[in-house]
Amino acid sequence: MLIEEKKALHFIDSYQTLLGYAALSGGLLEKAGQNVDGLVLMQQARNAMADDPALLPKALAAMEKAGETLSEDMQQALASLRVGHWIYLRDTTGYSVLMETGDLEAAYAVKCLTTPLKDLIGDSGAIIEAGLLEYDGKIICDGLVSMGAWLGPNYRSGFNESLGEYRANGLFFRDKLLPAPVKKPKAPKKRAASKPKK
């Protein structure tokens, strides 16, 4: 259910450092050392990177300017970052089962870093917000988890049926995330038709 401790600590250290630079580069933090809630700031920086792919190269450039570098394995992991709401269905002895909630139909075998999801939120059977990444040949949860809503027994039963269908159709993944759906651009606001001048 957890990845190897040494790899988890490498990920956490690198991820937290990068998120700090993303917060600075993205304008979420005015200066280093500012007194803020670190967990909230890391979630905001992660979400900003997921919403604006141009923020990652800016954060990497800021790191390099400060004399820090991000390892190749971490750069590859961050290129796969998907942040969203996931159905946290249940745990097995080796992984947690998370399912897509939007337009995509898929489920994932997700490993955690140092704490199982069930310990982070109290139980399975919930909609959560989290970042998922491909790291070390596995799909991992970044540990920055927010609770959405608990699932009732009927919903859980329906999602278990869907999971069976996903497995049967090759839509259950252990090592890769499906690409995020392309967001549709917002439609321009319609102007009220003006009356012709007489």
What does pLDDT average to over the chain?
Answer: 91
Q: Is residue 106 part of a domain?
A: yes
How do residues 121-144 score in pLDDT, each as one tens digit?
Answer: 999 999 999 999 999 999 999 999
181 residue type, one letter = P
Three-state DSSP at 167 gives helix
**Would you call 84 exposed, middle or buried from its count of C-beta atoms within 10 A (0-12, 13-18, 19+)?**
middle
Q: Is residue 194 part of a domain?
A: no
Together in a domain, 88 and 73:
no
Together in a domain, 19 and 70:
yes
Taken as a whole, the chain contains a residue count of 198
Together in a domain, 44 and 104:
no
How do residues 168-182 score in pLDDT, each as one tens digit?
Answer: 999 999 999 999 887
Cα angle value 120/124/128 (rounded, 5°)? 65
In this predicted structure, what is the pLDDT of residue 175? Answer: 97
Give the domain-ending residue among 78, 102, 132.
78
The pTM assigned to this predicted structure is 0.88
Cβ contacts of 94 within 8 Å, gap of 6 or more = 1, 109
Distance CA 81, CA 132 (A): 6
Distance CA 28, CA 30 (A): 7
Give the structural domain span for 31: 5-78
Domain count of the chain? 2
Q: Is residue 103 part of a domain?
A: yes
CA 65 to chain centre: 27
